[in-house]
Structure 1
Amino acid sequence: MIVTDKETGTNLAEIAEGIFRINTPIPPSAFPGGFSFNQYLILDEEPLLFHTGPRAIFAPVTGAIATVMPIERLRHVAFSHVEADECGTLNQLLALAPQAQPLCGQIAAMVSIGDLADRPPTALNDGETRSLGRHQVRWLDAAHLPHGWECGYLFEETTRTLLCGDLFTQPGIGEEPLTRGDILGPSDAFRRQLDYFAHSPHSSSLLAKLAATRPQRLACMHGSAWEGDGAALLGALGESLARAA
């Protein structure tokens, strides 16, 4: 892990071959217990950024990207759902990367991104894949999991990394880039405190669909990325949600 911005503590670490986590810690003085925002950069012939971060951290995020590649090489700006920390600087990134396009699901393109974005989006169907070069990503629709009709995820097939957004939001500053430790317990506690899951009756079946990819890494948007039996952990999340229903 290398610190790329000393003022904010933004740092960069490779969590899988060619996949970098960009982490900006939010200290306890600004958020009780601390928090973090993560973006994931897939470095390839067609580089892809998953999550943009909110506008307040645009400079350190783009600075971190610049340590591994020129920002203008970016080709895809992807996200799980429409929210400030997911795609708040989408248009700013498009302005810096003239060949980049938003990449999202069909619902997001229809209800939001086709209008909000300064460039037309690449809209993927459920299960549709996109080659980036050595890496290949597959879009998985996941409406209202945890929130947002347009919600979905990208599964990177080469490294078996699931870019899983808010599913395992952990408190704290995410100082460990990649862990094999418990992330379900802390994320469950955080979920019970803030109640940001949609309580959809389809959550279990959608988690089973994600588990069927048998991910070896979970690239979380808040907190540490995780390595291990991803299918089992997604199943455990489903059981936890069922008990809470």
Structure 2
Amino acid sequence: METRTTEIADGVYRLSTYVSDVAPPAGFTFNQFLIDADEPLLFHCGHRQMFPQISEAVRAIMPLERLAWISFGHVEADECGAMNQWLAAAPRAQVVHGALACDVSLNDLADRPPRALADGEVLDLGGKRLRWLDTPHVPHGWEAGAMYEETGGVLLCGDLLTHVGDGPALTHGDVLAPALEAEAMFKAMSMHPATGSVLRRLAALEPTTLALMHGSSYAGRGGKVLSDLAAELEAVAA
């Protein structure tokens, strides 16, 4: 496995590892996002077994010791499996997540106490501003959340709009249709009465870049893509 690095927005690096034997025949990408600022943040930790190559990819951009913050969308192996390895490699780094995840999981799982963020709270990285947004059960997990980088309009989406294959790092093309195909395959989304409103709240931010954990990131009218996703999911659930 090889981890490839692409700057998808100013100071936002996508670290992507393609695994061919997941979701064959297309395969699957596992993506992390490094936000370069005065206090750098890594969004998604990756699996424990992927830590060596992902950490090398980060080290090619900056010393690991510079990392100040570690976050992810929800508690799941591909998002936080290597969390404590990152904490060991970056002695001043702190995990940051929504209050619920800290209360139910991270206060116990993390080797150092995490910082809990309230819904809508902004983490100022110095040059970048990340707003935490609670997204309970969207795409899945009651502690789920997203982060919005306000200065560049980048939404760190976690598992939203997941799609298979090893496409370009950043696309202006259609990510909704591939995501709906993947959802038909995986059935990973949690559907409940608030799903549409949670997605439309994210859409109202009008992000210009959608940083997706699985698949190509998207540049363009991110708000429309998220609104369309809400409509498609509601139609399926009706």
For the superposition of Structure 1 and Structure 2, which TM-score range results when normalised by the shorter chain?
over 0.9
Residues 23 and 164 in structure 2, CA contact (< 8 A), matched pair in contact too: no
Q: 2:129 aligns with which of 136, 139, 145?
A: 136
Residue type of the partner of 2:27?
G
> What is the Cα deviation at residue 93 of structure 1?
0.3
Structure 1 residues 42 and 29, CA gap change in structure 2 (3 angstroms): closer
- What TM-score do you get using the length of structure 1 for normalisation? 0.95
CA distance in 2: counterparts of 1:193 and 1:11, whole angstroms: 26
- Spell out, residue by residue over 1:52-97, the C-alpha distance to the aligned partner (whole angstroms, 9 max, x if none): 1111211110000000100111110000000001100000100011
Could you say which residue in structure 1 is the equivalent of 2:163? Answer: 170
Cα pair 2:39 2:125 within 8 Å, conserved? yes
User: 1:72 pairs with 65, 84, 93, which one?
Assistant: 65
Check conservation: 1:166, 1:220, Cα contact below 8 A.
yes
Distance 1:213 1:30, change over 3 A: closer
Aligned residues: 237
Structure 1 outlier segments of 4+, above 4 Å: none
What residue in structure 2 maps to residue 244 of structure 1?
A: 236
- Give unpaired runs (5+ residues) of structure 1: 1-7
Q: Which amino acid aligns with 1:115?
A: D
Unaligned runs of 5+ in 2: none
User: Take 1:103 and 1:134, find their aligned partners in 2: how far apart are those partners?
Assistant: 18
Tell me if the contact between 1:145 and 1:200 (Cα under 8 Å) persists in the aligned partners: no
Q: Does 1:37 align with 2:30?
A: yes
For the residues of structure 1 that align with 2:236 and 2:132, how far apart are their CA atoms?
28
Q: In the aligned structure 2, how far is the partner of 1:186 from the partner of 1:129?
A: 32
Secondary structure of 1:25's partner? Answer: strand
1:23-55, Cα deviation, whole Å (9 max, x unpaired): 001125884321110000001110000001111
Report the CA distance between 1:243 and its aligned residue: 1.1
Give CA deviations for 1:77-123 in whole Å, capped at 9, x if unaligned: 00000000110000010001110000100000000000100011111
Pick the aligned partner of 2:216 from 217, 224, 228: 224
Q: Does structure 1 conserve the Cα–Cα contact (< 8 Å) formed by 2:83 and 2:110? A: yes
SS in 2 for 1:45: coil
The reply on whether 1:88 has 2:81 as its aligned counterpart is yes
Quote the Cα distance in structure 1 between the aligned partners of 2:126 and 2:71. Answer: 16
Tell me what 2:118 maps to.
125
Are 1:207 and 2:199 matched, yes or no?
A: yes
Which residue number corresponds to residue 111 of structure 1?
104
How far 1:199 moved relative to its partner?
A: 1.1
Question: Displacement of 1:173 after TM fit?
Answer: 2.1
Percent identity of the aligned residues? 48
